[in-house]
Amino acid sequence: SQTIHQWPATLVQPVGSPLSLECTVEGTSNPNLYWYRQAAGRGLQLLFYSVGIGQISSEVPQNLSASRPQDRQFILSSKKLLLSDSGFYLCAWSKVSYEQYFGPGTRLTVT
């Protein structure tokens, strides 16, 4: 069966510091991968998606970036965090059946 991992689970970072969140998927090959952000009390905002290694599309302009160095690895990064980057970050994967499967999430607090 397929599983999706995210780490770290929680992170507290000062403004201006760099960020690296990692997501890996097991049990499937060539998945579509997604990064979402969920701000407190709000819905999900799609940040990036990837249909293959090195193929990244951005949905919302911001100071975040994403990379896919391996087929089942998706990384969310920032060179300098802003207060507004605080939130709950979710990684998801999908195949041809349209539904997406979500990881456990990373709670990021920028102080």
Partner 1 sequence: AQSVTQLDSQVPVFEEAPVELRCNYSSSVSVYLFWYVQYPNQGLQLLLKYLSGSTLVKGINGFEAEFNKSQTSFHLRKPSVHISDTAEYFCAVSPISGGYNKLIFGAGTRLAVHP
Q: Given the rule CB under 8 A, which residues bind partner 1?
A: 6, 32, 42-44, 46, 49, 51, 88, 90, 92, 94, 96-105, 107
| DSSP calls for 26-84 | ES-SS-EEEEEEE-TTS-EEEEEEEEETTEEEESS-SSEEEEEEETTEEEEEESS--GG
Find the shortest distance in angstroms from Cβ 21 to partner 1. Answer: 13
User: Is 109:48 a contact under the CB 8 Å cutoff?
Assistant: no
Strand partners, 64: 78
Find the shortest distance in angstroms from Cβ 79 to partner 1. Answer: 26
The residue among 58 and 101 lying less far from partner 1, judged by its C-beta, is: 101
Find the shortest distance in angstroms from Cβ 6 to partner 1. Answer: 8
The residue among 77 and 94 lying less far from partner 1, judged by its C-beta, is: 94
Find the shortest distance in angstroms from Cβ 66 to partner 1. Answer: 14
SS3 category, 85: helix
The residue among 44 and 53 lying less far from partner 1, judged by its C-beta, is: 44
The residue among 14 and 43 lying less far from partner 1, judged by its C-beta, is: 43
Query: Six-digit token pair at 96?
Result: 């041809």
Look up residue 109 and give its DSSP letter: E
